[in-house]
Amino acid sequence: MNEKGFEAVWGQVRVAVASCLANTRLTPVCLYNGGRSAHVARLRAIGVHVVAHRSSLEPVLRRGYGEAYDLYSGHWLRVDIPMVEQEDDVVLYADVDVMFLAHPAPRRLSRPLAAAPERYRWRYPHFNSGVMVMNLPRLRALAEPFAAAISRRFRKPWSPPGHDQVSYNAFFRWRHARLPAGMNWKPYWGIGQDVSIVHFHGPKPPHVRALAAGGGQRFIPEYDRLWRLDRAAYEHYCRQYAVFEAR
């Protein structure tokens, strides 16, 4: 997370952490780029171990993003997880817009990371970086060439969106393992079996409620399109989400 975007995603963080603590044996850890002690205190109060961190690529990224960097800096903190974490060899990374339904059980990982597809379950090798299982020793070995690839990307004319996911796909396209779809399940895929992590990739539950009530005109068209792919599944997962919102 980053300081500038903290308030906008706080509700999602609360659900991600509450569902993680209720349904898994995982320890929630948050990399935080910012100087607000109140933010750190709020995270700790809900059971999160907070690690203050600034991206090792900040000079490169700040030149690329310009004034927008402070809004998007949180996206890039995951790149440094292999250097930040020195005790565990395997880490599960997740964006804040997730809900844990069960303890995730990834397969044995020999590659640098495992990830599931983005929009279409059958579309490989393009993957979604919102949930990744990271093999930290393997990622440390690739840290320098990965950082160099990101720096090269930002020397070219560039503008968001895309963020770090573009770099992850460009560099790890043929290096990653397939994560079970149930560990990065999107509601527009339907009501799934063996789902441990629901990822609200696209419309979040507040958006879904507005769309269902006929008030989604202010959202980007993609939200409405994804919601219409499986309204029943969105309703199903939003009901579960609401349980954790109320805690």
Using the structure block, give the residue that is written with the tokens 């309204």: 231
Within a domain: 1: no
Q: Is the peptide bond before 161 cis (omega within 30 degrees of 0)?
A: yes
Q: Residue ranges of the chain with pLDDT lower than 50? A: none
3-state secondary structure string across the chain: CECCCHHHHHHHHHHHHHHHHHHCCCCCEEEEECCCHHHHHHHHHCCCEEEECCCCCHHHHHHHHHHHHHHHHHHHHHHHHHHHCCCCCEEEEECCCEEECCCCCCCCCCCCEEEEECCCCCCCCCEEEEEEEEEHHHHHHCHHHHHHHHHHHHHCCCCCCCHHHHHHHHHHCCCCEECCHHHCECHHHCCCCCCCEEECCCCCHHHHHHHHCCCCCCCCHHHHHHHHHCHHHHHHHHHHHHHHHCC
Within a domain: 83: yes
Looking up residue 20, the CATH number of its domain turns out to be 3.90.550.10
- pLDDT at residue 126 in the model: 92
- pLDDT at residue 160 in the model: 65
- pLDDT at residue 64 in the model: 87
Within a domain: 162: yes
Using the structure block, give the residue that is written with the tokens 């349904």: 23
Structure tokens at 171: 């560099």
- pLDDT at residue 81 in the model: 98
- pLDDT at residue 218 in the model: 83
Neighbours of 34 (CB within 10 A): 19
- Taking only the tens place, the pLDDT of each residue in 13-70 is 999 999 999 999 999 999 999 988 999 999 999 999 999 999 999 999 998 888 889 9
Report the distance separating Cα 245 and Cα 21, nearest Å. Answer: 14
**Which pTM value belongs to this model?**
0.95
Query: What is the tally of structural domains in the chain?
Result: 1
CA neighbours closer than 13 Å in the CB half-sphere of residue 57: 32
Report the distance separating Cα 106 and Cα 100, nearest Å. Answer: 14
Structural domain boundaries enclosing 208: 6-245
- pLDDT at residue 79 in the model: 98
Structure tokens at 141: 């070995």
Report the distance separating Cα 4 and Cα 36, nearest Å. Answer: 10
